[in-house]
Amino acid sequence: MNFPSNIFNSHSKEDGDFFLGMTRILGFKPKKLAVYKKAFLHRSANIRDEDGTPMNYERLEFLGDSMLGTIISKYLYTEVPTGDEGYLTKMRSKIVSREHLNELGKELNLIHYVESRIPKSHFGDNIHGNVYEALVGAIYLDRGYKYCEKFIHKSVIVPYVDIEQLEGKVISYKSLLIEWCQKQKKSFYYDIYEDTGNDAVKHFAVKLHINKKIVSKARATSKKKAEEIASKRAYYALQNKIDKE
Amino acid sequence: MNFPSNIFNSHSKEDGDFFLGMTRILGFKPKKLAVYKKAFLHRSANIRDEDGTPMNYERLEFLGDSMLGTIISKYLYTEVPTGDEGYLTKMRSKIVSREHLNELGKELNLIHYVESRIPKSHFGDNIHGNVYEALVGAIYLDRGYKYCEKFIHKSVIVPYVDIEQLEGKVISYKSLLIEWCQKQKKSFYYDIYEDTGNDAVKHFAVKLHINKKIVSKARATSKKKAEEIASKRAYYALQNKIDKE
């Protein structure tokens, strides 16, 4: 199968939707839309370029995987000045673990844009992480290093990287918070409900009440995760109080 | 042992020499000289920063290793548009192999700047590659991605990366050239001599004569390598002729 011309036609309705979707996910406007399209082409779509070379996201995944590792390395180097090489390597593997990348891809609902001949429900979990890496590779080619760094900060480091938790010093913010509430004789309640909205993937929202007041909110793809994020937010909001005990 | 103050004193004679040496190796002026000094600190020097954290090049090596992989990935992605993920991964491993990095570090004579308590003659070969990676890490911190990319192009890609040779399509430029000379009934002569100069590591220079005219020159740490580089240069210089046969 040859490459369908509409994939590179920047005036089609489909392209307009794809452009808007990418802009929302990336936080900036893509320049070379074709590169991003490639990031979502599964090999099963069996698309080839003009020379007959198979086109799919695997080459971009190779590039993005490497860039992701570099940005995380730089972050860890700067954030943990006392960590030796072994420590930095271990922390990096935790952050870029297959499981973690799959979660990231799922949160961004990247599978929505995947072009394949296989029904999406047949894919395993790894598609999410693979496409996330390919997307990083596409940003690298389209906008260079700086934009990659920004995107990785926004999508990985800010929401997910917590060095204390990675080190196992904090196992769960939920248990930390519950312990504190019990000690302080405060009531707490996780008000959790499904909130999928327009997303293709199921989402849950939670409001965390302490002494009948909402102290934090969160939204994620699992109940457990939404509760954990809300707990962490509440923990940092209350940290002054907790530390003063 | 605390960090000796002269290491950060940018007015010392030693620092002036180090600055000049780095400028020569890098091809640009370093801004934060202290970062480059760290790139040459072996753990045996047992130097610590003000907080007592051990200071040596291992953390920078972690950073440089990752950046090197990313730049090579980008290069391969662009240069070999038909190579799939497996091919790109294989080529990258060949380029950043321990053996290859050791050669690079040796060529730049980086060991000259290493600070250690172990006599330099006691180090194995890996010190050369490790310090090369640490130097890349230092450039990344001091001048950012773009300068790293330039340095890696200049020190790795331009002089050493030959995709045809990595793929095994060309085993040796020397044999290619000799074959051509014999077919063309041209005389050839590799004029090779030791040319160590001020370098700590032994070097050889070669002048390649074809029909009694010098067609190329090269200099390297082994005779074989110098001959190979000179042959490759001659090959490209004569390529039009060779291709027309």
**3-class SS letters over chain B:** CECCHHHHCCCCHHHHHHHHHHHHHHCCCCCCHHHHHHCCECHHHCEECCCCCEECCHHHHHHHHHHHHHHHHHHHHHHCCCCCHHHHHHHHHHHCCHHHHHHHHHHCCHHHHCECCCCHHHCCCHHHHHHHHHHHHHHHHHHCHHHHHHHHHHHHHHHHCCHHHHCCCCCCHHHHHHHHHHHCCCCEEEEEEECCCCCCCCCEEEEEEECCEEEEEEEECCHHHHHHHHHHHHHHHHHHHHHHC
Among B115, B139, B163, the domain boundary falls at: B163
Same domain, A116 and A228: no
Whether B199 contacts chain A with CB within 8 A: no
Q: Please check whether residue A104 lies inside any domain of the structure.
A: yes
Residue A52 in domain: yes
Distance of alpha carbon A222 from alpha carbon A230, whole angstroms? 12
**Which residue has better confidence, B162 or B117?**
B117
Please, what sign has the CA dihedral across residues A61, A67, A73, A75?
negative
Instruction: Name residues whose C-beta falls within 8 Å of residue A104's C-beta, 6 or more positions apart in sequence.
Output: A128, A129, A132, A155, A156, A160
Among A234-238, B55-59, B197-201, the range of highest mean pLDDT:
B55-59
Q: Which residues of A touch B141 (CB under 8 A)?
A: 77
> Does A61 count as an annotated binding residue?
yes
Counting one residue from chain A and one from chain B, the pairs whose CB atoms sit within 8 A come to 66
When CB atoms are compared, the residue of B59, B66, B144 closest to A70 is B66
Same structural domain for residues B17 and B46?
Answer: yes
- CB atoms under 10 Å from CB of A212, counted, come to 9
Q: Distance between CA A208 and CA B126 in Å, rounded?
A: 54
- CB-CB under 8 Å, A73 with B69: no
Mean pLDDT lowest among B58-62, B115-119, B129-133:
B115-119
Q: Residue A77 is part of a domain; what is its CATH number?
A: 1.10.1520.10
In chain B, the residue whose alpha carbon lies closest to the alpha carbon of A82 is: B53
CATH for B216: 3.30.160.20
pLDDT score, position A240: 58
List CB contacts (< 8 A) between B74 and chain A: 63, 140
Residues of A with a known catalytic role: 65, 133
* pLDDT level of residue B241 (50, 70, 90 thresholds): low
Flag whether pLDDT at B165 surpasses 90: no
- A54 assigned to some structural domain: yes
Q: Does residue A62 belong to the interface with chain B, where contact is any CB pair within 8 Å?
A: yes
pLDDT at residue A32, rounded to an integer = 95
User: How many separate domains does chain B show?
Assistant: 2
State which residues form the domain around B129.
5-163
Contact assessment for residue B54 and residue A84, using Cβ atoms and an 8 Å cutoff: yes
B43 in A contact zone (CB under 8 Å): no
Q: List, run by run, the mean pLDDT of 10-residue segments along chain A (245 residues).
A: 47 85 95 95 87 89 98 95 91 92 92 91 91 98 96 89 76 85 91 85 90 91 87 80 53
Between B153 and B13, name the one with better pLDDT. B153
B110 and B214 both lie in a single domain: no
> Which of A140, A163, A186 marks a domain boundary?
A163
Do B145 and B183 lie in one domain? The reply is no
**Do residues B112 and B184 share a domain?**
no
Asked whether residue A158 falls in the same domain as residue A209, the answer is: no
- Residue A132 Cα, gap to closest chain B Cα (Å): 16
**Cβ atoms within 10 Å, residue A122:** 9
pLDDT tens for A90-128 read: 999 999 999 989 989 998 999 999 999 988 888 889 999
Whether residue B73 and residue A63 make contact (CB cut-off 8 A), yes or no, is: yes
Q: Does B81 touch chain A (CB under 8 A)?
A: yes
| Distance in angstroms (rounded) separating the CA atoms of residues A146 and B144 | 10
pLDDT over 90 for what percent of chain A? Answer: 54
pLDDT over 90 (residue B9)? no
**Which pLDDT score is estimated for B1?**
43
Q: Is residue A203 part of a domain?
A: yes
For residues A105 and A217, membership in a common domain is answered with no
Chain B hits for A140, Cβ within 8 Å: 74
B84 contacts A58? CB cut-off 8 A: yes
* Whether B52 and B110 share a structural domain: yes
Angle between helices A126-143 and B58-79 (to 10 degrees): 80
- Cβ <8 Å between A62 and B140: no
On whether residue A133 sits in a domain, the answer given is yes
The pLDDT of residue B224 is: 85
Report yes or no: A50 at the B interface, CB cutoff 8 Å: no
- Confidence bin at B191 (pLDDT 50/70/90): very high
Contacts of B102 by beta carbon, 8 Å cutoff, 6+ apart: B125, B126, B128, B129
- Residue matched to tokens 């904090």: A170
Please report, to the nearest 10 degrees, the dihedral formed by the alpha carbons of residues B108, B47, B4, B127 taken in order: -10
Chain B residue closest to A62 (CA)? B85
Same domain, A86 and A129: yes
Distance in angstroms (rounded) separating the CA atoms of residues A107 and A128:
9
Cα(A66)–Cα(A60) distance, integer angstroms: 10
Q: Where is the domain boundary, A112, A136, A163?
A: A163
CB distance A83–B59 less than 8 Å? yes
CA gap A64, B74 in Å, rounded: 9
In whole angstroms, give the CA distance from residue A63 to residue B73.
Answer: 6
CA distance B89 to chain A (A): 8
Q: Do B59 and A89 count as a contact with CB atoms less than 8 A apart?
A: no
How many of the other CB atoms lie within 10 Å of CB of B58?
20
Report yes or no on B168 lying in a domain.
no
Kindly determine whether residue B67 and residue A70, on different chains, have CB atoms separated by under 8 Å.
Answer: yes
What is the rounded CA–CA span in Å between residue B33 and residue B27? 15
CB contact under 8 A, A53 and B146: no
For the annotated catalytic residues of B, the residue numbers are 65, 133
A138 CB near a chain B CB, below 8 Å? no
- Out of B51, B74, B81, name the one closest to residue A140 (CB): B74
Asked whether residue B217 falls in the same domain as residue B177, the answer is yes
Same domain, B99 and B184: no
- Give the pLDDT confidence score for residue A241 in this predicted structure: 61
Secondary structure string (H, E, C) spanning chain A: CECCHHHHCCCCHHHHHHHHHHHHHHCCCCCCHHHHHHCCECHHHCEECCCCCEECCHHHHHHHHHHHHHHHHHHHHHHCCCCCHHHHHHHHHHHCCHHHHHHHHHHCCHHHHCECCCCHHHCCCHHHHHHHHHHHHHHHHHHCHHHHHHHHHHHHHHHHCCHHHHCCCCCCHHHHHHHHHHHCCCCEEEEEEECCCCCCCCCEEEEEEECCEEEEEEEECCHHHHHHHHHHHHHHHHHHHHHHC
Shared domain check, A124 and A40: yes
Chain centre distance of CA B181: 31
Quick check: is B37 in a domain?
Answer: yes
Q: Distances in Å between the alpha carbon of B95 and those of A101, B71, B72, B89, B99?
A: 27, 11, 8, 10, 9
Q: What is the pLDDT at residue A113?
A: 95
User: B91 — contact with chain A (CB < 8 Å)?
Assistant: no
Alpha-carbon span A106 to B151, nearest angstrom: 37
Cα nearest neighbour of A81 on chain B: B53
Residue A168 lies in a domain: no
